[in-house]
């Protein structure tokens, strides 16, 4: 995914939209959808930036993904920048749009995760992309990680 051409949506919006379109509903109690697919989508994006990704799947399909961005001063402790890929269930009847369509209406991106947290995930990813595409390095290593099962306290994601 690259910077927008004239008339196209900015990359950060396209990325958030595409993440919203992956239904990662987490009902709790071990029931979820799409976390592996979302992690693989994020991993592919990071790999396109030249980063090596690592996947952690403590429970089948509850996938976490991580990459390390080398910093200029590797003697400094790394900074972890993280997000989560799961969302709480959407009560479809309460929505005026499909919660997993990633629709832009009235100048806003609508969908489950548009404000928690697929929007921020897209901002993290495109910020890393901006640094790397400019040929720059952060001061210290960045560990960029996206977790499964945050909406259920991480018991089947980062806590394992």
Domain residue ranges of the chain, discontinuous segments joined by +? 11-152
pLDDT of the residue at 137 = 97
pLDDT band at 41 (very low <50, low <70, confident <90, very high): very high
Instruction: Please pick, among 35, 141, 149, 150, the residue that the annotation labels catalytic.
Output: 150
pLDDT at 82 over 80: yes
pTM: 0.94
The whole-angstrom separation of Cα 128 and Cα 51 is 10
Q: Supply the mean pLDDT for the chain.
A: 95
16 CB-near residues (< 8 Å, 6+ apart): 102, 109, 113, 114, 118, 119, 121, 122
The whole-angstrom separation of Cα 144 and Cα 65 is 8
pLDDT of the residue at 2 = 62
- Catalytic residue check, 150: yes
- Catalytic residue check, 86: yes
CATH architecture under which domain 11-152 falls: 3-Layer(aba) Sandwich (3.40)
Instruction: Please pick, among 86, 121, 149, 156, the residue that the annotation labels catalytic.
Output: 86
**Residue with the two structure tokens 């806590």:** 159
Give, in order, the Cα–Cα distances in Å from 28 to each of 10, 31, 32, 145, 149. Answer: 33, 6, 7, 21, 8
């Amino acid at each position: 995914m690259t910077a927008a051409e004239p008339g196209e949506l900015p990359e950060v919006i396209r990325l958030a939209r595409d993440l919203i379109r992956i239904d990662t509903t987490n009902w709790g109690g071990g029931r979820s959808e799409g976390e592996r697919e979302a992690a693989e989508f994020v991993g592919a994006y990071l790999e396109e930036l030249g980063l090596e990704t690592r996947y952690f799947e403590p429970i089948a399909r509850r996938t976490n993904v991580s990459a390390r961005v080398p910093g200029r001063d590797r003697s400094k402790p790394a900074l972890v920048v993280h997000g989560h890929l799961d969302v709480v269930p959407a009560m479809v009847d309460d929505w005026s749009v499909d919660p997993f369509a990633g629709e832009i209406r009235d100048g806003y991106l609508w969908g489950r995760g548009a404000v928690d947290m697929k929007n921020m995930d897209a901002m993290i990813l495109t910020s890393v992309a901006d640094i790397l595409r400019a040929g720059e390095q952060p001061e210290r290593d960045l560990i960029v990680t996206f977790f499964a099962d945050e909406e259920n306290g991480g018991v089947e994601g980062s806590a394992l």
